Structure 1
Amino acid sequence: MVLEWLDGEFAVAKWTRDRKIEELGCFSFWSRTDQELSLVCPKDCLPEDAEKQEGGWAGFRVVGQMDFTLVGILAKISGSLAEKKISIFAISTFDTDYVFIKENDANAAQKALESMDFDFIKK
């Protein structure tokens, strides 16, 4: 399976009050539940009104469209990183999975995943 690093530093943010989802002009993943609105985006695109935010994240994605019948890919990634005590923030879209880790864990994460037969095409 092929993984691809995303460019730049990412931030994770949240709002608990009502807020409109906006187009940021960059990679952004908004998620609304009955308790919060969350956002993952490049740190330099982060809206200034976030109630809580944390920067310092690096991200990668599984390359290509993943069929819904595929099983265990995210579990294999998260399990491999958990063995190395690397925390993740995972998001899934219709096509693929994205995994965010703290930037200082990026090299260790790549080594751990390469040892599990994942290939990285960028970084």
Structure 2
Amino acid sequence: MHQEFSVCQVEDYSFVDLDSEYSFIGRTDEEKSLVCITSEIPPNVIQRDDGWKALRIQGVLEFSLIGILSKIAAILADHSIPIFAVSTYNTDYLLTKKENYEKVIKALKNAGYKIIE
């Protein structure tokens, strides 16, 4: 994924482009969050953090699979690389700050993961 992403807190979802190629929303009793392509940030943002790049874990992950995300997160934690994870029905996405992106790729390759760009 070559887009740059932002992690946002929004007032509501009325301006979110749900037809966008990528948008992830999350809501709790305390907040409404949005991860979106930076160029698509809605005007009703309360807070935002820009400069994120994303990697998609390839393939559809069955719900019975255990530890895929935690293994990748542990590798990156061992390299002191913070991540922000988003899950969908089919798979997981890892976001990292763009300045860490090449370190993420190198760490995962060195751990035996195949990276498809």
TM-score computed with the length of structure 1 as normaliser: 0.88
Supply the distance in 1 between the matched residues of 2:38 and 2:55 (Cα, whole angstroms): 15
Q: Which runs of 4+ in 1 moved over 6 A?
A: none
1:42 has 2:37 as partner: yes
Q: How many pairs are equivalent? A: 115
Q: Could you tell me whether the CA contact under 8 Å between 2:59 and 2:91 is conserved in 1?
A: yes
Counterpart in 1 of 2:17? Answer: 23
CA RMSD between the two structures: 1.2
Q: Could you tell me whether the CA contact under 8 Å between 2:8 and 2:34 is conserved in 1?
A: yes
Counterpart in 2 of 1:87? Answer: 82
Unaligned runs of 5+ in 1: 1-5
1:85-108: CA deviation from partner (whole Å, max 9, x where unpaired)? 110000111110000000000011
Asked which structure has the greater RCO (Cα within 8 Å, sep 6+), the reply is 1
Shift in Å at residue 24 of structure 1?
A: 4.1
TM-score computed with the length of structure 2 as normaliser: 0.92
Q: Could you tell me whether the CA contact under 8 Å between 1:30 and 1:37 is conserved in 2?
A: yes
Unaligned runs of 5+ in 2: none
Q: Could you tell me whether the CA contact under 8 Å between 1:24 and 1:45 is conserved in 2?
A: no
Which residue identity does 1:20 align to in structure 2?
A: Y
